Amino acid sequence: MNDRDRDDQQTGLVLTRREVFAILGAATGAGILGSKAQASSPASVPGCVGRPEQTEGPYFLDMQINRSDIRSDPSDGSVVEGIPLTLEFRVVQVTAKGCAPLAGAVVDVWHCDARGVYSGVRDPHFNTTGKKFLRGYQVTDSDGKARFTTIFPGWYPGRTVHLHFKIRINPSTRTGYEFTSQLYFDDSVTDQVHTQSPYSSRGRRMMRNSDDGIFRAGGDQLTLALTNQGQGYAAVFDIGLQRPA
């Protein structure tokens, strides 16, 4: 079994809807899932949103590449082709007192290119050992934000179109915590993007969201709401994390 075959199951939930109600309702009397009014500075705090954790999937590599624009390959300076995608994570921490921006969290993003190829690995269908395109991390700022510039992913057999992310808190300590999941795209947008070059050279994708077992385990809560930016797309992804006691 190769690593891509392990991209096949959900691993749990960081925070259920009932848990959010219990935590925030008991603490504030007014907290609700998705509300923007659970902290002392409501205007600056994004929605306190629990999201499903999903399998890490194939090819996470802790390359420690701190960069916002992950389209280039540091090994040779080349830039991958594809429709630009700007992605902003807004991370908050959920506590008994409500939600607050989580600063200092490490957010990793990695995904395949327009032709379904991951960097830095040996796969039965390609060998990109030494390459580092479409990989990188950012550290959340004082507002809990981490921003990336990448491309719209392509596809490979057995999965719908997706990208991977991992959020780590104090990763170098024994009390470190991590949350891993995947992000998805509306099928109609993917269909439109994949008619364009270089995606079109790959041919028609084999799987849509509703056919993907991993997507069916919470993917509707992990689907990005894209804004058309003319030459590409942009999205903001809110996520609330509750660290284990």
Query: Per-residue pLDDT tens for 145-176?
Result: 999 999 999 999 999 999 999 999 988 777 78
In three-state secondary structure terms, 132 is coil
For 183-205, what is each residue's pLDDT tens digit? Answer: 999 999 999 999 999 999 999 99
Share of the chain above pLDDT 90, in %: 68
Q: Binning pLDDT at 50, 70 and 90, where does residue 68 land?
A: very high
Tell me, what's the pLDDT at 47?
59
pLDDT of residue 32: 25
* Average pLDDT across the chain, whole number: 83
The pTM for the full model equals: 0.82
CB 161 within 8 A of CB 184: yes
Strand partners, 235: 87
The residue-averaged pLDDT of 222-233 equals 96
Higher pLDDT: 17 or 136? It is 136
Per domain, the residue ranges of the chain are 3-241
| Separation between Cα atoms, residue 24 and residue 240, nearest integer Å | 12
Residue 46 confidence (pLDDT)? 52
Domain 3-241 in CATH 2.60.130.10? The answer is: yes
For 51, the 3-state DSSP assignment is coil
Alpha-carbon distances, residue 27 vs 14, 96, 97, 125, 215 (angstroms): 19, 6, 5, 52, 33
